[in-house]
Amino acid sequence: MDGISKSFGGVVALHDVDFVLRAGEIHGLVGENGAGKSTLMKIIAGVHAEYNGRMFIDGEQVHFRSARDALAAGIGMVHQELSVVPDLTVAENVFLGKQPTKAGLIDWSGMVAAAREQLANLGIEVDPRASMGSLSIGLQQLVELARVLFSGARIIILDEPTSALSPPEVHRLFEVLRGVRASGRSIVFISHFLDDILSVSDRVTIFRNGRRVVTEAAALIDKGWVIERMIGSGHEELEESYTGAIALNSKSAAPVILSARHLAVGRAFADVSLDARAGEILGIYGFMGCGQIELARTLFGKLKPSTGTLAIEGAAKRFRNTAHARRAGIAFVPESRRSMLFYQEPVYKNVSISVLGRISRLWLKPAAERQIASRHVELLNIRPSNVLALLASLSGGNQQKVALAKWLTYIPKVLILSEPTRGMDVGAKDDVVKIVRALRNQGLAVIVVSAEPETVLSLADRIIVMKKGRIVHEFAGETISKDRLLDAA
Amino acid sequence: MTIPVQEAVKGSPSRAGAFLRNRMRNIAPFATLIILLAFFSIASPSFLSVDNGVNVLTQISVTGVIAVGLTFVILCAEIDLSVAAIANATGIAVAYFTMQESYVNIPNLPLPGYAAIGLALLICAFLGLVNAFGTTLIGIPSFIMTLAMMQIGAGICALLVRGQIAYAVPDLVTMMGSGTIAGFPWIIIVLGVFLLAGHIVLTYTRFGRYVYMVGGNREAAEYSGVNVKMVLGAVMVISAVCSGVAGMIGVAHFGSAQQNEFDGYLLDAIAAVVVGGTSLFGGRGGIGNTIIGLCILGVLNNGLDHVQIDSFLKILIRGIILLVALIINVYVQNLRDRQRI
Amino acid sequence: MTIPVQEAVKGSPSRAGAFLRNRMRNIAPFATLIILLAFFSIASPSFLSVDNGVNVLTQISVTGVIAVGLTFVILCAEIDLSVAAIANATGIAVAYFTMQESYVNIPNLPLPGYAAIGLALLICAFLGLVNAFGTTLIGIPSFIMTLAMMQIGAGICALLVRGQIAYAVPDLVTMMGSGTIAGFPWIIIVLGVFLLAGHIVLTYTRFGRYVYMVGGNREAAEYSGVNVKMVLGAVMVISAVCSGVAGMIGVAHFGSAQQNEFDGYLLDAIAAVVVGGTSLFGGRGGIGNTIIGLCILGVLNNGLDHVQIDSFLKILIRGIILLVALIINVYVQNLRDRQRI
Amino acid sequence: SQARAAAASGRSEKPLKAAFSNAGLQATWCAQGKAAAEYWGKLFNVEVTWFDGELDAVKQRAAIDNMASQKWDFVAIQAFGIGTLVQPVQKMIDAGIPVIDMDTLIAPLDKINVHSFLAPDNEFMGSSVTQALITAIGGKGKVITTQGALGHTGAQGRNRGFESIVKQHPDIEVLENQPADWDVTKVARLWETYLTKYPQIDAAYFHNDDMALAAYNVMKAHNRTNIKIGGCDAMPPAIAAVAEGRMHATVRNPSCRIHGGAIVAGVAAVTGGEKSGEGIPKSVVTDGPVVTKENASGMQWMEDHFLI
Ligand SMILES: Nc1ncnc2c1ncn2[C@@H]1O[C@H](COP(=O)(O)OP(=O)(O)OP(=O)(O)O)[C@@H](O)[C@H]1O
Ligand SMILES: Nc1ncnc2c1ncn2[C@@H]1O[C@H](COP(=O)(O)OP(=O)(O)OP(=O)(O)O)[C@@H](O)[C@H]1O
Ligand SMILES: [Mg+2]
Ligand SMILES: [Mg+2]
């Protein structure tokens, strides 16, 4: 790729980027949120048809108009956002768009058998005839990976494919990637997990502000080197929190704000009892699909528990809806930005929506809304600082901060964060950690739900581990490391 | 951590973009309206007159009151297909509760005027509540729920009026529907009041903001602690009550209450909201757009009566003009969206 | 390596779950059908007979052929409100191109039978193409695009038939619409062929699977190289052509071609698809569901003719039964979805 | 002398402008009326402008509103929805425009002072065809009537006529009297049911010819063409059906007479100063005869020349 530029309206996403992908290599791609990684890959995969610059494959210039063009040229991509069809069977999702036919008609039994085999290659044992929607998110991500990996594409682009996977699954995936490389095909691998990138890649390219900073052989560099170039200045202390032993600073004497007893929701989880205490961050860790996300939603009134009780400061509650939970003093930030933000609205309306009832009874007070929003924009270092800017014009990391800002105007009693740093770069993660700790120090009960051990470890004062929808372990007031956490799960 | 310069630059174009965007949404329908006005003024000498202006306004009044409620629903990315049926049922109900002349052969239930109006309003609010119940608590898509309600409304009409025609409605309703004040029709004033109230609620109240937010991203609204079901339920009830009022003044305006009288209003009201530029996907548009849409529809229907065309061709021409207005409308919006990306 | 136990455990309930889920989608409508059948069999001695069974099938034939096309559209999470208008226009067109008796006072254009049929098919395909063009290339929401097309279809009808009624259609069409083979109506066979073809295309061809993909997750379909716009365009054309065929055999079946003849088929066809359990949000359902939905509608309409009820009450009862069927249908599905969490 | 000749024939010397509106040109009866009005208009030097009601009360009201804001020498209106047009019609009457009401009441006659009301007697139409049918089946047997829309005053009158005759014949059993709302698809559905439900049906009366012909189609498909069919309106296709024996009888609802009569009455009011209630009665009954095989061809000829 040669001199690629791309802008969205006024936003320059890519600026004069050159990028070379060799045959038979795994090429790691890292960079802060909004650095332009996904944008470049989407150009290669034909999703963005309009851009400046030239692209060559095997020395021949190409310009894809659609994903179809790119697929035909042997380019397959797993997108950052899960893109599967939940209503179809697993087998069809494996062959999405290329269902095998026999005499012009779909060969259902052949497809099921072939899907079973391909999934087995990735180490998955599911019934290919089951419907995709019945699988956990992690499994769905694996099925999507299987689709692209075994599609026969020569160039495979994986945009944060491991965000929903547990460590053993990631490990298995890497084995498969190495196998693919051995067959002479090329892979681009985007991730915010620098350890992963460094361990699996042959070469690593670092992006910053829509520009390619450097490309280097993975063997020659280490994590600190990468972070330095991603962010611009050294942030060495960041990574410490993820390794080594961490002393949990539990406050078992602090008053209980939220308490759950024997909570259960359908097949998602059962018999969950927990207490969230004032001034303490409670981490809930478990592999993807172990019920922790549903638990978080239940605490915010989005799902209704089939059994069990909830109490806020000792008073029993049965939330009718999220508004009810909000009034009871619970705040919630879901794992996906898409389900938290209003893209077509200005930043200030995004910030004020969850506290509108406190700002105004009947009549809106836009000036007050803007003032509150401005304060948070400053506090959280959100760029651009103009609260009238449309949310869609912000980068992902900044959007994520807006999602958090919603709840900071009037401090809630309980703050529930689901995957608060998913897809964030190290710098932004650090910001979030600081904000959340500051909130805890103000006496909030914070609950952090995540399938990323790093997230939980960097934030939590006490950790509950969930497995198959049940609490299996609790770490409090002790020293813990990533290994022990993974062991427990 | 500081965010690079590139980000800071973003603010201004997107602000100007937002401004232009809102303008564009309005410019295309507005241009359509101007073109229609110009065309009919040239094509017919009788079109451009104060009298005919009042005619157009009178003719869009009933549609307009329905469209106000429908704007709320469509802004929430829902639809209400029962508006015309509810209007009809409410109009018939208010006549049912009014003393009819002896030659009207309906076993009805005469009540004092205000009681009749109150009961009729209760009925439409109740039908709206059923819609709300079905869409929010049961989870039936509004498209289908209100389709069923449309049939139920028609059933209520048939049952109450039993194939007869009722003429009398309470005095207040008669005045609102067909009275004038200083020569100016009350019905236009009613329309004005509804449009204004709708605009104020949508733009200046907390509930109005919730409507836009629920339409813009329902999930996000829910995760922000907005009672989405309540907002959705409320817009269904608002829509039904607007329709009910429209039905009552409509019956007074037309001077009679009978089955299927308002069937044509369904498409007209939807067309008015959408041609005006309010997005069917929710979250964008408003009463201002609805006003323009109403004027486009009103001028089109009225203007075609002023020019000499083959009657059989008229329906086709109206359909084609509507389609062209839509195409221009959507096309201009898309063009703008594309420029933004 | 195999994935941790936790996942493996999930496999089996989800397999059973998926099975039950698919069943549930069908069980609720099926139960509704059985209840209706049982009710009418008890309520009327004349309802349960072979002859009346054939009647019901005949009565759902025209709706059914329309519903086949509509199933494609709804599976794509789109809607086509122009089906009835296109059916009407095509039916009138085929009569327009056929020699009429002298007392039919239309300036028409007699052509040989096959040419008339061919031209009529071209017309409906063309109208479908306009729908496809508007929804995919211009980006008008199908709801609105087909609303405009509905008006255009009505306009074409008015223009061609000019307030008259045409009776003659080509012989082939007459046979298909009102002929019998060994005492069995051809029109039912036509319905059967369309249902079968629709089922085969949806289940056993790539195009059919694309329809499900586009309806289930449009973005995922696009990323996996499906030409989404083409699929959407194709379903609009398929829907229009099915409607056109329905219109032709309908005209033959009813023995006359006139304006507004098929207006009632719009709601019936939509209701059949949706009551059958195909999701308006796309991606779920199919011809099997449509068949059940058709039977429910057919039995309901036919059954109500067999029992003695106040005619004015009938409309209301029909509306309420439809609503109840929908509520049960959606409720059962939600119940199941909730269990899946 | 030419002027006198014109006056003698009732023709207007200077061209007149008239506005006509009827329920909806979708209906053949209305379309025939339009042709008749235009034919008679040409003869009487009247330029006719048409405002279609599109079978929609609201659309017709808007059309009449627009009519009322223009200048006319006289107007003639067939209302789709009774009572829905009072205001603009009153406005035209107040402006001194003679308004001729055709076929359906604009409003009860004491509520609005139209120049004249030209309409057939629906009760007579219903009773005369019913009588013809009952006579044809020998005064006894099983009959079915299929009504129009229950809210339609014409249908209500026709049904009263039907019932008045049936009451006089104790040996006649009425099997069904459901409405089909003028909708041929509903007629087909109903009759498919009737034919399976009742092994014996002797005669059937329909509130218009279109429904009768649609039902005949179903009877033919079920090999039950022995049923005597009676319709209403005597439109050309029905006359042909009567002539060919597909239908037994129909009764003329004289569209041409009503629409042509409106022209004549309007011109007389404008040029001859004919006053309502003096020159022309407030209400004119324009009945047509029952059409059977014997008089079918004559009826067709009269319709061809807009005479009935
Ligand atoms: N569809 C779009 N419309 C407008 N702006 C966009 C769009 N997609 C991306 N951008 C902007 O382009 C820039 C680059 O985004 P991109 O998604 O490529 O970043 P990324 O490196 O993948 O970040 P992340 O790690 O958060 O996924 C950002 O500023 C983003 O806001
Ligand atoms: N969550 C909500 N979702 C939708 N509408 C709401 C919501 N909260 C309030 N409203 C609207 O505002 C009115 C006042 O509501 P309420 O007293 O519940 O305020 P509130 O949002 O709870 O404020 P606070 O945040 O101070 O508790 C309600 O009648 C309703 O119309
Ligand atoms: Mg990205
Ligand atoms: Mg409050």
Residue C88 is part of a domain; what is its CATH number? Answer: 1.10.3470
Q: Tokens for B28?
A: 């295309």
Phi/psi at B277 (5° precision) = 115, 5
Task: Give residue B12's pLDDT.
Answer: 42
Summary mean pLDDT of chain B = 85
| B75/A451: higher pLDDT | B75
C1, C3, C212, C340, best to mutate vs chain A, most A CBs in 10 Å: C3
As a whole number of Å, the end-to-end CA separation of chain B is: 27
Ligand 1 pocket, A36 CB below 6 A? Answer: yes
Determine which helix (DSSP H) or strand (DSSP E) holds C142, and give its type and residue range.
helix C142-161
Q: Are B165 and B88 in contact (CB under 8 A)?
A: no
Task: Give residue B10's pLDDT.
Answer: 36
Say yes or no: ipTM exceeds 0.85: no
**Distance in angstroms (rounded) separating the CA atoms of residues A72 and A82:** 22
Average pLDDT, integer, range B224-251:
95
- The CA distance from C315 to the nearest CA of chain B, in Å, is 5
Looking at residue B252, what DSSP letter applies? Answer: H
Q: Helices C171-178 and C186-204: crossing angle, nearest 10°? A: 90
Q: Taking Cα atoms as reference points, which of B261, D187, B259, B159 lies closest to residue C316?
A: B159
Q: Tokens for D50?
A: 């048409």
Task: Give residue B250's pLDDT.
Answer: 92
Task: Give residue C10's pLDDT.
Answer: 37
- Residue A322 alpha carbon, nearest atom of ligand 2: 1
Q: How confident is the model at residue B23 (pLDDT cuts 50, 70, 90)?
A: low
**Distance in angstroms (rounded) separating the CA atoms of residues C324 and C331:** 10
Partners of residue D70 in chain B, C-beta under 8 Å: 46, 306
- Residue B341 predicted with pLDDT over 50: no
The answer to whether the Cα torsion of A114, A120, A122, A125 is positive or negative is positive
Tens-digit pLDDT profile for residues A348-392 = 998 888 888 888 888 888 888 899 899 888 888 887 788 888 887
C-alpha pair distances (Å), C87 with each of C66, C191, D247: 8, 15, 29
- Residue C333 predicted with pLDDT over 80: no
Select from A302, A361, A372 the residue to mutate for testing ligand 2; criterion: most ligand atoms less than 8 Å from CB. A361
Lowest mean pLDDT among A135-139, A309-313, D171-175: A135-139
pTM given for the model: 0.83
Q: Taking Cα atoms as reference points, which of B66, B55, B54 lies closest to residue B262?
A: B66
Average pLDDT, integer, range C265-294:
89
Query: Residue D141 forms beta bridges with which residues?
Result: D172
Task: Give residue B323's pLDDT.
Answer: 84
Looking at residue B165, what DSSP letter applies? Answer: -
Partners of residue B59 in chain D, C-beta under 8 Å: 62, 65
- Residue A160 alpha carbon, nearest atom of ligand 1: 27
- The single residue listed with the structure tokens 């008609």 is A105
Cβ-in-10-Å burial (0-12, 13-18, 19+) of B183 comes to exposed
Tens-digit pLDDT profile for residues D208-218 = 998 999 899 88
Say what percent of chain A tops pLDDT 70. 94
- Residue A8 predicted with pLDDT over 80: no
**Distance in angstroms (rounded) separating the CA atoms of residues A43 and A157:** 11
Tens-digit pLDDT profile for residues B44-66 = 888 888 888 888 998 899 999 99
**Distance in angstroms (rounded) separating the CA atoms of residues B239 and B273:** 13
- Minimal Cβ distance to C7: which of A71, A131, A136: A136
Please report whether residue C127 resides in a domain.
yes
Tens-digit pLDDT profile for residues A251-294 = 878 888 899 999 998 778 889 999 999 989 999 988 766 788 88
Please report whether residue C20 resides in a domain.
no
Whether D and A touch, i.e. at least 3 CB pairs below 8 A, reads as: no
**Helix/strand/coil (H/E/C) assignment for every residue in C209-273:** HHHHHHHHCHHHHHHCCCCHHHHHHHHHHHHHHHHHHHHHHHHHHHCCECCCCCCHHHHHHHHHH
- Nearest C-alpha to atom 28 of ligand 2 is from which residue? B207
Partners of residue B224 in chain A, C-beta under 8 Å: 322, 326, 340, 353-354, 406
Q: How confident is the model at residue B339 (pLDDT cuts 50, 70, 90)?
A: very low
Phi/psi at C224 (5° precision) = -95, 20
**Half-sphere exposure at residue D297, Cβ-oriented, CA atoms within 13 angstroms:** 2
Q: Are B276 and B293 in contact (CB under 8 A)?
A: yes
Average pLDDT, integer, range A225-242:
61
Q: Is the peptide bond before A384 cis (omega within 30 degrees of 0)?
A: yes
Alpha helices in B167-286 (DSSP H): 171-178, 186-204, 206-216, 218-223, 228-254, 265-275
Please report whether residue C150 resides in a domain.
yes
**Distance in angstroms (rounded) separating the CA atoms of residues B273 and C168:** 42
Tens-digit pLDDT profile for residues D218-256 = 898 888 999 999 999 999 889 999 999 999 999 999 999
- The single residue listed with the structure tokens 């609105």 is C144
Looking at residue C196, what DSSP letter applies? Answer: H
Q: Tokens for A40?
A: 């470049």
Task: Give residue A130's pLDDT.
Answer: 87
- The single residue listed with the structure tokens 């389609």 is B323
Q: Are A38 and A17 in contact (CB under 8 A)?
A: no
Q: Does A49 touch chain B (CB under 8 A)?
A: no
Please report whether residue B327 resides in a domain.
yes
Average pLDDT, integer, range C294-307:
89
B8 C-beta neighbours (distance < 10 Å), count: 14
- Minimal Cβ distance to A127: which of C15, C21, C284: C15
- The CA distance from B221 to the nearest CA of chain C, in Å, is 20
Tens-digit pLDDT profile for residues C158-209 = 888 887 888 888 989 989 988 888 888 999 999 999 999 999 999 999 999 9
Task: Give residue D5's pLDDT.
Answer: 57
C-alpha pair distances (Å), A79 with each of B140, C211, C216, C223: 32, 22, 17, 8
**Distance in angstroms (rounded) separating the CA atoms of residues C10 and A139:** 11
Cβ-based neighbours of A45, under 8 Å, separated by 6 or more: A64, A67, A70, A75, A76, A77, A157, C223
The answer to whether the Cα torsion of A188, A194, A199, A205 is positive or negative is positive
A482 C-beta neighbours (distance < 10 Å), count: 17
E-assigned strands of chain B? 180-181, 184-185
- Residue B7 predicted with pLDDT over 50: no
Cβ distance D82 to B260 less than 8 Å, yes or no, reads no
Q: Taking Cα atoms as reference points, which of B271, B32, B331 lies closest to residue C149?
A: B271
Please report whether residue B103 resides in a domain.
yes
C2, C6, C136, best to mutate vs chain A, most A CBs in 10 Å: C6
* CA–centroid distance for B201 within its chain: 15
Which ligand has an atom closest to residue A36 CA? 1
Phi/psi at A217 (5° precision) = -70, 135
Cβ distance B319 to C152 less than 8 Å, yes or no, reads yes
Q: How far is the CA of B214 from the centre of ligand 2 (A)?
A: 14
Summary mean pLDDT of chain D = 89
Average pLDDT, integer, range C121-144:
91
| D142/A12: higher pLDDT | D142
β-pair type (D172-176, D141-146): parallel
- Residue C15 predicted with pLDDT over 50: no
Domain count, chain C: 1
Across the beta sheet with A11-17, the strand order is A11-17, A2-8, A52-57, A60-62
Say what percent of chain B tops pLDDT 90. 44
Q: How confident is the model at residue D4 (pLDDT cuts 50, 70, 90)?
A: low
Cβ-based neighbours of B131, under 8 Å, separated by 6 or more: B80, B82, B142, B145, B146, B149, B236, B237, B239, B240
Task: Give residue A79's pLDDT.
Answer: 86
Task: Give residue C305's pLDDT.
Answer: 84
Closest chain B residue to D53, measured at CA: B311
Average pLDDT, integer, range A444-452:
89
Neighbours of chain D (3+ CB pairs under 8 A): B, C
Say what percent of chain C tops pLDDT 70. 91
**Distance in angstroms (rounded) separating the CA atoms of residues A271 and A467:** 12
Cβ distance D61 to B302 less than 8 Å, yes or no, reads no
Please report whether residue C36 resides in a domain.
no
Q: Taking Cα atoms as reference points, which of C78, C56, C55, C90 lies closest to residue C262?
A: C90
**Distance in angstroms (rounded) separating the CA atoms of residues D89 and D68:** 7
For residue B225, the one-letter residue type is: G
Tens-digit pLDDT profile for residues C199-211 = 999 999 999 999 9
| C307/D39: higher pLDDT | D39
- The single residue listed with the structure tokens 């006072």 is C105
Most confident by average pLDDT, A180-189, A416-425, B126-135 = B126-135
**Distance in angstroms (rounded) separating the CA atoms of residues A76 and A159:** 11
Task: Give residue D8's pLDDT.
Answer: 61
- Residue A323 alpha carbon, nearest atom of ligand 2: 1
Which ligand has an atom closest to residue A324 CA? 2
Select from A39, A42, A193 the residue to mutate for testing ligand 1; criterion: most ligand atoms less than 8 Å from CB. A39
Q: How far is the CA of A49 from the centre of ligand 1 (A)?
A: 15
D22, D177, D189, D206, best to mutate vs chain C, most C CBs in 10 Å: D189
As a whole number of Å, the end-to-end CA separation of chain C is: 27
C-alpha pair distances (Å), B178 with each of A284, B58, B170, C4, D261: 67, 10, 12, 75, 32
Task: Give residue D307's pLDDT.
Answer: 92
- The CA distance from C165 to the nearest CA of chain D, in Å, is 7
Determine the structural domain holding residue C140 and report its residue range.
60-340
Q: How confident is the model at residue C338 (pLDDT cuts 50, 70, 90)?
A: low
Please report whether residue B278 resides in a domain.
yes
Q: How confident is the model at residue B106 (pLDDT cuts 50, 70, 90)?
A: confident
Lowest mean pLDDT among A226-240, B182-196, D184-198: A226-240
Q: Tokens for D147?
A: 């009504």
- The single residue listed with the structure tokens 């379909």 is C221
Please report whether residue B48 resides in a domain.
no
- The CA distance from A359 to the nearest CA of chain B, in Å, is 10
Average pLDDT, integer, range D257-273:
91
Tens-digit pLDDT profile for residues C217-237 = 888 888 888 899 999 999 999
- The CA distance from D198 to the nearest CA of chain C, in Å, is 9
Task: Give residue D185's pLDDT.
Answer: 84
Task: Give residue D150's pLDDT.
Answer: 78
Task: Give residue A1's pLDDT.
Answer: 63
Cβ-based neighbours of A434, under 8 Å, separated by 6 or more: none
Looking at residue B98, what DSSP letter applies? Answer: S
Tens-digit pLDDT profile for residues C251-273 = 998 888 888 889 889 888 998 99
**Distance in angstroms (rounded) separating the CA atoms of residues B56 and B58:** 5
Angle at the Cα of D301 from the Cα atoms of D298 and D307, rounded to 5 degrees: 105
Q: How confident is the model at residue C6 (pLDDT cuts 50, 70, 90)?
A: very low
Partners of residue B55 in chain D, C-beta under 8 Å: 65-66, 69
Whether B and C touch, i.e. at least 3 CB pairs below 8 A, reads as: yes
Partners of residue B216 in chain A, C-beta under 8 Å: 342-345
